[in-house]
Amino acid sequence: MSRPPAGCAKEIRTEAEGPVGLITLNRPSVLNALNHPLMEGLVGALEDFERAPSIGCIIITGNAKAFAAGADIKEMDHATTAEISRDPHLSRWDRVGKCAKPVIAAVSGFALGGGCELALACDMIVASETAVFGQPEINIGVMPGAGGTQRLTRILGKTRAMEMVLTGKRMTAREALAAGLVNRVVPVESYLEQAKKLAHEIAAQPPMAVRMAKEAVLKALDVDLDAGLALERRLFYSLFDTGDQKEGMRAFIEKREPKFTGK
Ligand code: DAK
C-alpha cells in the first residue's frame, strides 16, 4: 500500500487488513489535533485506498483517548479572514465526505470541533462508551467551519444541533446513539474490532453495488424525493450490466454462496 505524501507519514499510520484499509490519526500528545500535515496525510492515504481495487471499505480511527480534539488551534490563532478563507484545510474534510468507498469512523474519547466534523464526514460511526462528540468552536470565538452546522443538523434536527453549536456542550456516546449520530456503542476495548467487523462485512459485498448504494443514500440528504428516486432507479438498472449481479442472483437460485469479483 502506498504511503501518504512525503513528510506526512508520522502524523498518520496506514495499514491494509485484507480488503479493509485502516487509517490511524497519530498525534497522541495533542489529542490528534488536526494540523495541515495530518489532514494532508489523511487525504493521501484515503485516496490510495480509494484507488486500490483490493480495498472495499476504509476505517479512520484515533486512539482510546481521542479520535481528534479538533483542528489545530495553534495553527490558526493568528490567521486573518483573508488567510483562513484561502486555507486549503476545509477541502480535506470535503474530500473525506466524497470518498467513493464506504468510510467508517471508529471513535473513542474526544471527537470535538473538526474532529467531530471528520467523524460526521464518514458514512458510519462505531463509538466506544467513552466517546464524546461536540462542536466547542463557539467557546473560542468562532463556529463550526468544516460541515458541523450542516451535517449535525441533518442528523439531529434543528433544535438539538442548535443547542450543541450555540453552547458548545458535548454529547456522550449513549446520547449520540439515541440521536442517531452513531451506529453503535461498544466497550472501549473492542471499538476498533467492532469497526473492523463492520468494515469486513461491507467489503465482502459486491463493490459496484456498494458504491452505487452509497451514492444513492448520500443523495437522499441533498435532493427532493422525486430526484432521489430517479437517481436510485438509474443506479439500480445500471447494476444489471455487472457480473456480480448475475453471480449474486445465480448463487441465490443455485442455493450457494456468491463469489463476487467486482466486475
Ligand atoms: N488544537 C491544538 N492543540 C490541542 C487541541 C486543539 N484543538 N486540543 C488539545 N490540544 C493539546 C493541548 O494544547 C495540550 O497540549 P500541551 O499543552 O500538552 O502541549 C494537549 O493537547 C492535551 O490537551 P489538554 O491538556 O487540554 O487535555 P485535557 O484532557 O485537559 O482536555 C480537551 C481535553 C479536549 C477538553 C481540551 O484539550 C480542549 O478543549 N481542546 C480543544 C477543543 C476544541 O476547542 N476544539 C475545536 C477546535 S476549532 C476550517 C474549518 C474548520 C476548522 C478549522 C478550519 N477551515 C474552513 C479552514 C475547525 C476548527 C476547530 O476544530
Q: What is the pLDDT of residues 217-245, one digit of tens each?
A: 999 999 999 999 999 999 999 999 999 99
Q: Whose CA is nearest to atom 25 of ligand 1?
A: 30
DSSP state of 102: -
Ligand 1 atom showing the smallest separation from residue 73 Cα: 1
Output the CA 137–ligand 1 centroid distance in Å: 10
The answer to whether the predicted template modeling score (pTM) of the entire model surpasses 0.85 is yes
- Edge-to-edge strand list for the sheet holding 132-134: 66-68, 110-112, 132-134, 171-172
Task: Give residue ranges with CB within 6 A of ligand 1.
Answer: 30-31, 33, 69-74, 84, 87, 89-90, 110, 112-114, 136-137, 140, 145-146
CATH 3.90.226.10-classified regions of the chain: 12-203
* Active-site choice (71, 146, 161, 195): 71
pLDDT digits (tens, 9 = 90+) for 179-211: 999 999 999 999 999 999 999 999 999 999 999
Q: Does residue 24 carry a pLDDT above 50?
A: yes
Mean pLDDT of the chain: 95
The reported pLDDT for the residue numbered 9 is: 63
Whole-angstrom Cα distance, residue 177 to residue 183? 7
* Active-site choice (70, 109, 114, 115): 114
- CB contact at 8 A, 202 and 57: yes
DSSP state of 124: E
Ligand 1 atom showing the smallest separation from residue 115 Cα: 61
How many Cβ atoms sit within 10 Å of the Cβ of residue 253? Answer: 7
Please give the CATH topology (third level) of the domain spanning 207-253.
Answer: Lyase 2-enoyl-coa Hydratase; Chain  A, domain 2 (1.10.12)
Banded pLDDT at 29 (limits 50, 70, 90): very high
CATH 1.10.12.10-classified regions of the chain: 207-253
Q: Which CATH number fits domain 12-203: 1.10.3720.10, 3.30.50.10, 2.40.280.10, 3.90.226.10?
A: 3.90.226.10
Whole-angstrom Cα distance, residue 211 to residue 17? 20
Q: Which residues on adjacent β-strands are paired with residue 13?
A: 24
230 noted as active-site residue: no
The reported pLDDT for the residue numbered 248 is: 97
CA proximity to 261, closest of 236, 250, 231, 196:
250
Out of 11, 30, 149, give the residue to mutate to test ligand 1, the one with the largest number of ligand atoms within 8 Å of its CB: 30
Dihedral angle of Cα 131, 84, 49, 189, to the nearest 10 degrees: -10
Mean pLDDT of 113-128: 98
pLDDT digits (tens, 9 = 90+) for 136-195: 999 999 999 999 999 999 999 999 999 999 999 999 999 999 999 999 999 999 999 999
Output the CA 73–ligand 1 centroid distance in Å: 6
Q: What is the grid cell recorded at 127?
A: 463509538
CA proximity to 163, closest of 130, 129, 138:
138
